[in-house]
């Protein structure tokens, strides 16, 4: 009986243990299910966190870019306001008759205005109307002269580094009696016998024709005085004479080059000057150096500038319509200052590109080391044609190769 009783007790214990095990197994199943649900929930949460962090990173990057853009634009606005303020001040001074103060106001904002017109990457150095520039080096200072505009009959600016230019004012405060104001174009200046001689185109009051005159000064910044009673050169039958350029031949002799006529009839001329450069040499006659012959010139060659370099005479000139983006600079090779000249290039050496449209009115000059540079005017792309400004650009010029190359040092 005792054995059966023990067996019954053991079976009862077994039943209880099995029931407990069943409960435990049920709990395990429940806990596993809870774990699975919680794991899924956590995975979903982590996916949401990853997505949120991704969006946050993207948003922060965009915000950073936008903030940087805003800072840059803020600087642009500041630059614009500075430039505009200077121009407005200059305008006010001009209205009040104080051109000297106007010149200072404009010079003061030259840097900011240069930035607005695209900076100096394309060679822009003076962001105001400065057409048909002519650059000379006197000592360590460069002087640039230009067609009449805001600064007066013949504008003059100066620089010691070719990049930063300061307005000096008007090189030619007065005009001879035969000339009328507002039409004094394309100057050239030469240092001859210790004096400075200015050649420029002026409009004859009686005929309305543009003709070439000459003025002198004892300093490069002037004032130049024109005591003439008549133009130095005028070709009324050819439509007038403009774009004078002086040339001092290293082999001896002083010459004046210029352009006559309009589209379809333009010619570039040369004639020897006397020793003072204020009149033509006795017995000298004008010689045609160049006529239009290339498609890109569209019937016009003008703005001559003769340079003796590397044993050659290089005649730089501008072609096409001065008021359009197709205006450009070409070069011909001459056997001497009076020709003959051969334009062997089929395309210009300088034409519209990033940051400049319709470059022309060039002036080639050397720095103290003997390296060549080319100054020219150009429209800011998108603002082509008068009364928009033809700004001043300066770029290095290489003349050692078969064809001069603009923009390459040396």
Q: Does 161 bind other proteins (CB under 8 A)?
A: no
The β-bridge partners of 54 are: none
Q: Compute, in degrees rounded to 10, the torsion defined by CA atoms 127, 129, 134, 135.
A: -30
Among 304, 223, 185, 294, residue whose Cα is nearest residue 256: 304
SS3 114: helix
Residue of 168, 215, 169, 172 lying closest to 196 (CA atoms) = 215
Q: Binding residue for other proteins (CB under 8 A) from 163, 310, 386, 401?
A: 386
Number of residues that bind other proteins (CB under 8 A): 68
| Site track for other proteins across 330-369, x = CB under 8 A | ----------------------------------------
| Nearest distance from C-beta of residue 330 to other proteins, angstroms | 27
Residues 6+ apart with CB under 8 A from 176: 202, 213, 226, 227, 228, 229
Instruction: Collect all residues with Cβ–Cβ distance below 8 Å to 156 and sequence separation of at least 6.
Output: 143, 144, 145, 146, 167, 168, 169, 170, 171, 221, 222
Cβ of residue 130: shortest distance to other proteins, in angstroms? Answer: 11
Specify the stretch interacting with other proteins by CB under 8 A; choose among 16-24, 240-248, 327-335, 342-350.
Answer: 16-24
Please, which residues have CB within 8 angstroms of residue 201's CB and are 6 or more apart in sequence?
183, 184, 185, 186, 210, 211, 212, 213, 241, 242, 243, 244
Q: Say how far apart CA 233 and CA 149 lie, in whole Å.
A: 23
* Pattern 275-314, other proteins, x by CB under 8 A: ----------------------------------------
Q: State the first-to-last Cα distance of the chain, in angstroms, to the nearest integer.
A: 126
Task: State the binding string over 234-273 for other proteins (x if CB under 8 A, else -).
Answer: ----------------------------------------
Among 93, 114, 320, 389, indicate the residue that binds other proteins (CB under 8 A): 389
**Closest distance to other proteins from the beta carbon of 393 (Å):** 17
Residue numbers of the site for other proteins (CB under 8 A)? 3-4, 6-7, 10-11, 13-14, 17-18, 20-21, 24-25, 27-28, 31-32, 34-35, 38-39, 41-42, 45-46, 48-49, 52-53, 55-56, 59-60, 62-63, 66-67, 69-70, 73-74, 76-77, 80-81, 83-84, 87-88, 90-91, 94, 116, 128-129, 148-151, 181-183, 383, 386-389
């Amino acid at each position: 009986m005792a054995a059966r009783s023990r067996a019954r007790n053991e079976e009862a214990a077994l039943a209880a243990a099995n029931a407990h095990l069943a409960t435990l197994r049920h709990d395990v199943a429940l806990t596993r299910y809870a774990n699975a649900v919680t794991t899924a929930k956590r995975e979903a949460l982590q996916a949401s966190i990853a997505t949120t962090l991704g969006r946050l990173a993207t948003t922060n990057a965009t915000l950073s870019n936008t903030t940087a853009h805003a800072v840059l634009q803020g600087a642009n606005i500041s630059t614009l306001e500075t430039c505009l303020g200077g121009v407005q001040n200059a305008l006010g001074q001009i209205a009040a008759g104080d051109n000297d103060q106007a010149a200072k106001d404009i010079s003061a904002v030259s840097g900011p205005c240069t930035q607005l017109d695209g900076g100096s990457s394309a060679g822009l150095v003076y962001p105001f109307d400065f057409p048909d520039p002519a650059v000379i080096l006197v000592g360590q200072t460069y002087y640039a002269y230009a067609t009449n505009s805001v600064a007066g009959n013949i504008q003059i600016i100066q620089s010691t580094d070719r990049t930063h230019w300061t307005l000096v004012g008007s090189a030619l405060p007065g005009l001879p009696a035969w000339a009328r104001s507002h039409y004094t174009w394309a100057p050239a200046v030469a240092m001859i016998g210790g004096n400075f001689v200015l050649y420029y185109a002026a409009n004859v009051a009686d005929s309305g024709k543009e003709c070439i005159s000459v003025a002198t000064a004892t300093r490069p910044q002037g004032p130049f005085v024109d005591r003439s009673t008549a133009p130095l050169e005028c070709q009324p039958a050819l439509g007038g004479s403009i774009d004078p350029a002086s040339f001092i031949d290293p082999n001896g002799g002083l010459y004046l080059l210029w352009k006559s006529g309009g589209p379809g009839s333009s010619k570039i001329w040369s004639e020897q000057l006397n020793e003072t450069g204020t009149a033509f040499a006795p017995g000298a006659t004008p010689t045609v150096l160049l006529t239009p012959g290339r498609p890109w010139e569209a019937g016009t060659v003008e703005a001559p500038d003769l340079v003796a370099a590397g044993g050659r005479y290089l005649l730089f000139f501008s072609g096409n319509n001065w008021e359009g983006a197709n205006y450009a600079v070409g070069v011909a090779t001459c056997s001497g200052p009076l020709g003959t000249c051969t334009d062997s290039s089929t395309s210009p050496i300088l034409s519209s590109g990033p940051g400049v449209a319709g470059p022309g009115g060039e002036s080639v000059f050397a720095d103290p080391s003997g390296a060549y540079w080319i100054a020219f005017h150009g429209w800011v792309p998108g603002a082509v044609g008068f009364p928009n400004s033809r700004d001043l650009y300066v770029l290095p010029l290489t003349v050692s190769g078969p064809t001069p190359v603009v923009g390459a040092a040396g």
